[in-house]
Amino acid sequence: MMLRSLIGFVLVMAASVTAAEEETIVAHVFDSNINRIPVQTVAPKYPRKARRDRIEGKVEVCFEVDRKGRPRRIAVRNSTARTFERPSIKAVRDSSFKALEDDEKLPSIKSCRTFIFSLEPVEEVDVK
């Protein structure tokens, strides 16, 4: 069990994270007890108007993953600002997980992914 979760973690680390825009910093926090292994994790695009108006927020999206690794029944569970909901749903829809082997049982438990949209001050660099 321990070995399996360790393998899962290593695979997750190797999975690609796709940022919507090059200038967006994307951090992926993994929870080793996630029930499916992400293959492609798509980061949502920061909504332009939210960035303009300096709005930050958090959206929790829950979904099931089918045998082929595609997210299904995607729904917002918690959200602090509606503006982030659509890009978060799209990011989950465009993501994929490792398909199950024929002998593996499809877990009934849902997966949830939380997207935290934040804006960080640009650090000034002193040039001497």
Partner 1 sequence: MKHLLLFSITLVAAMQVYADDEADSKTVLGPSNVYLYDGANALKAGDAESGVALTLKGLELAQGLREEKIGHANLCAGFVLLGKAETALEHCNWVLEQDPYHWRTYNNRAIAYLRLGRFEESEADIRKGQELNPRSEHLKEVKGMYLDEVEPVDEKITIDDQRSGPRSPPEKPE
Residues that bind partner 1 (CB under 8 A): 17, 19, 21, 23-31, 33-35, 38, 41, 43-44, 46, 49, 51-54, 62, 77, 109-122
Question: Of 8, 26, 2, 37, which is closest to residue 91 (Cα–Cα)?
Answer: 26
Smallest gap from Cβ 52 to partner 1, in A, equals 3
3-state secondary structure at position 51: helix
- C-alpha span between 18 and 39 (Å, rounded): 11
Supply the minimum distance, in Å, between the C-beta of residue 101 and partner 1: 20
The CB-of-45 to partner 1 minimum distance in angstroms stands at: 9
53/103 with CB nearer partner 1: 53
- Residue 4 CA to residue 24 CA, distance in Å, equals 33
